[in-house]
Every structure is written in structure tokens, then in C-alpha cells.
Amino acid sequence: MRLVLSYAYQEKWCKSLTVKYYIHHVLTVTHIYHLNIACQIIIDKLSNVLQMLPKLDLLEIYRFLYTGSDDPLFEDIQSLSDLVAKNRITKLYLKTVFLAEEIYFYTEIFQCINQLKVKLMQSVDMESFVRDILLYLIMKANSSLQFLCFCLEMADDLMVQKIKIMIDNENLLFDFNIKRVMNEIHLQWN
């Protein structure tokens, strides 16, 4: 079962009893396994929603907002990490990503994910972007991530070939598959 939360004034729906009542009512009939938050959400509000959905497997999110500034506060990260550790989220789809550092942040919070799908919002040097992420994951020994999907309008077979050569030449992955499906680049490894 999939639940979509999209509301122009998301700070109100997170505080309102209406959303809590709606989610509670839905949970009396079925379990929610896929949550799609189609607007920006503050981390502590996301925590409130996730508390109500313990069987969640897939989280699709437009963009996090932090409580203080553009940088996440340690308390934000810790409270969300503690909550996510109790959930079963294994798939994460980020609809708005600008920098590889954002991926690092999400993989710190969602440590059980094995699939990550990312929609890149600006033209990036894909080789450098993929290299940075794979190097980060290599240094993070306990990562369960085994599948990355990059969505970008300019995806083509040449880009896939360059990424494959870079991964091979730098020995970043040994047993992997990479392919393009429409405007997505799929990278999977063991």
C-alpha cells in the first residue's frame, strides 16, 4: 500500500491532527509500505510521520529541510537515525539532489537501504559524482547499499561506458553491472 503526502503548506499538515487521524485510519485497514512525500519537509516533521509507519519499506521524498539553516543539526540527524533504525526502510528515492555530499548524509541516516534512486537536478560530471559516492561507500564498511539509480535527462550510452571504464580502471567495484534504461543509469553490485 502506498501513501502520498502532498500539500502546499506541509508545516501545517505535520502539526495537524488531520494527518495523524488519516494515517491512523488507513492503518486500521492496511499497512503502508511505500511513503511518497511530494513536497519539502523538515526533518523533525518527517520523524513524526515515520513514527506512525513502522512497516515502511520504501521512502520517496522530494527534499529535506533542516530546522536551523542549510546544514543539518546533529540533533536532527540523531533523532531521525534513531527512528529509521527501528523501521524497515530498504529503498530510498530522492527526487532532488544537487551534490554527492547529500548522498553521504542520506546514507548515514538510512543505514539499512540497499537501493538508492536519485534524481539529479543539475548537470554534473557523472564520472566524478559516481567516483565520490563509491569511494565514500568503500570507506563505510557497514553499508548495505547494492544498487544505485541516477535519473538525469542527459543519460546516454557514452556516459555509461565512461563510468564503467572509470570503475574498472580505479578498481572501485569488482562484480558489478551498469546499464542505461531510458533516462536512468542503473549500477548494481554484490
**Domains of the chain, residue spans:** 2-149
Q: How confident is the model at residue 160 (pLDDT cuts 50, 70, 90)?
A: very high
- Report the topology of domain 2-149: 3.80.10
DSSP three-state, residue 49: helix
Report residue 83's pLDDT band, with 50, 70 and 90 as the boundaries: low
Across the chain, mean pLDDT equals 78
Q: What is the pLDDT of residues 121-157, one digit of tens each?
A: 767 788 888 999 999 888 887 788 899 999 988 888 9
Does the pTM of the predicted model rise above 0.85? no
The four Cα atoms 146, 152, 46, 92 give a dihedral, to 10 degrees, of -20
Dist CA 85 CA 120 (whole Å): 26
